[in-house]
Amino acid sequence: MIQASPVTRELFDDVMVPNYAPAAIVPVRGEGSRLWDQNGREYLDFAGGIAVNVLGHAHPRLVAALTEQAHKLWHVSNVLTNEPALRLAQKLCELTFAQRVFFANSGAEANEAALKLARKYAADHFGPDKREIIAFTQAFHGRTLFTVTVGGQPKYTEGFEPLPPAITHAPFNDLATFAAAISDRTCAVILEPVQGEGGVTGATPEFLQGVRELCDRHQALLIFDEVQCGNGRSGHLYAYMGYHVTPDILTTAKGLGGGFPISAMLTTAPIAASLNVGSHGTTYGGNPLGCAVAGAVLELISDPELLAGVRRKHARFMAGLRAINERFGVFRDLRGQGLLLGCELEEPWRGRSRDFIKAALDEGLLVLVAGPDVIRLAPSLIIPDELIEAGLERLERAIARLAAG
């Protein structure tokens, strides 16, 4: 009998492709907004699996939904439909502008579907010359070759050339430059209402409204990537609702499954018609397990009381972060919506966001980066107030240690 190797962080370096650099700890259990590692040490989770664990770890309603479905039906592929997928799609249509839903497994896949649909719709209705896609600097839309090109950050495309053509980028929140870029050749415009990986930067209402009007004028589809800022994270079920600007296509993932891999592309019936039978697909998309869990998530996060709680917790976080900054002066800017928060670092701390992540981990707190200059917080939407305060105390201790050299 072959003796299994001990499962340690060192094993990662022996068996995994080196495209990640995970922290030194290995979590083994989670409950609510707490995690425990192999040594039994507790951590407070302000990272949320990168904005995924909207209801924390092992939420009993999600565990029950997954367990119940696991005893019924796991997978049938898309040669058959299934009840959890249909119920989830119906609920998404009831709660949003959408009339049609496509399920996939990740944010990148949802965005890939949205971009393909936009080009197909343009080809069907306007001919082959209308194929240009406009995106924005500092965007992030996924890691497929198409979506990483649309994201437009060179660090994610270097070495993967040649890249898909007819994709251009304009500065975010710069309506005049965008107006000069869009034309009748533009088939789609894609943006994050709140840029996540690019630094937790929210669109201004004037910018989003102007983009919507220019898309209408040039008959271009407007795609909102709400993979990170959607599913209650902004304090609204979807961020577009807070802006009162409705897209033609919306993509959602991350928090939709509360930790179970699932994503969706939402659109209207006339636009959806261009994805006719056989034009696009995915083996696992819409599988019963993922849709059952996502249905439970959606039922909980669409509760107006929960969404109001997100907005209240935002204010609590911001007050605590301002108090920390009054003492240490490390943040140039504090921004974000709901429970997607960005702390931009002041000189001389710029470029050192990972030092803060390491110091926080040493204090038993999980936080994120959003580039080299921004610390990102994306905790559970239902994190108790006392854990917000406890986590901010740990963050303050980490910052104090860094400030002391």
The predicted-structure confidence for 69-93, as pLDDT tens digits, reads as follows 999 999 999 999 999 999 999 999 9
Residue 98 scores a pLDDT above 80 = yes
pLDDT in the model for residue 6 = 82
CA distance 264 to 101: 7
Among 338, 336, 340, 343, CA closest to 321? 343
* Per-residue pLDDT at 153: 87
Q: What is the pLDDT of residues 48-74, one digit of tens each?
A: 999 999 999 999 999 999 999 999 999
Q: Sheet containing 263-267: give its strands across.
A: 100-104, 263-267, 249-252, 221-225, 186-191, 132-136, 167-170
Total-model pTM = 0.96
- Please write the tens of the pLDDT for every residue from 357-398: 999 999 999 999 999 999 999 999 999 999 999 999 999 999
Least confident of 32-36, 66-70, 279-283, 316-320: 279-283
Average pLDDT rounded to a whole number, residues 323-349: 97
Q: Could you tell me the pLDDT band of residue 2, with boundaries at 50, 70 and 90?
A: low
pLDDT surpassing 70 at residue 29:
yes
The token duo for 397 is 């201790």
pLDDT band at 317 (very low <50, low <70, confident <90, very high): very high
User: In the prediction, which pLDDT does 196 show?
Assistant: 95
pLDDT over 60 (residue 1): no
Tokens 């002066």 label which residue? 329
Which pLDDT does position 152 carry in this prediction? 81
Q: Is 228 exposed, middle or buried (0-12, 13-18, 19+ CB in 10 A)?
A: buried
Mean of the per-residue pLDDT values for the chain? 96
| Residues labelled catalytic | 140, 225, 254
**pLDDT in the model for residue 405:** 81
Residues forming beta bridges with residue 369, ordered by sequence position: 375
pLDDT of residue 3: 61
CB count in 10 Å sphere of residue 217 = 11
| Angle between helix 288-301 and 83-95 (nearest 10) | 30
- And the tokens for 156? 């994610």
* Single-letter amino acid code for the residue at 357: I
Domains of the chain: 9-58+305-403 (3.90.1150.10), 73-301 (3.40.640.10)
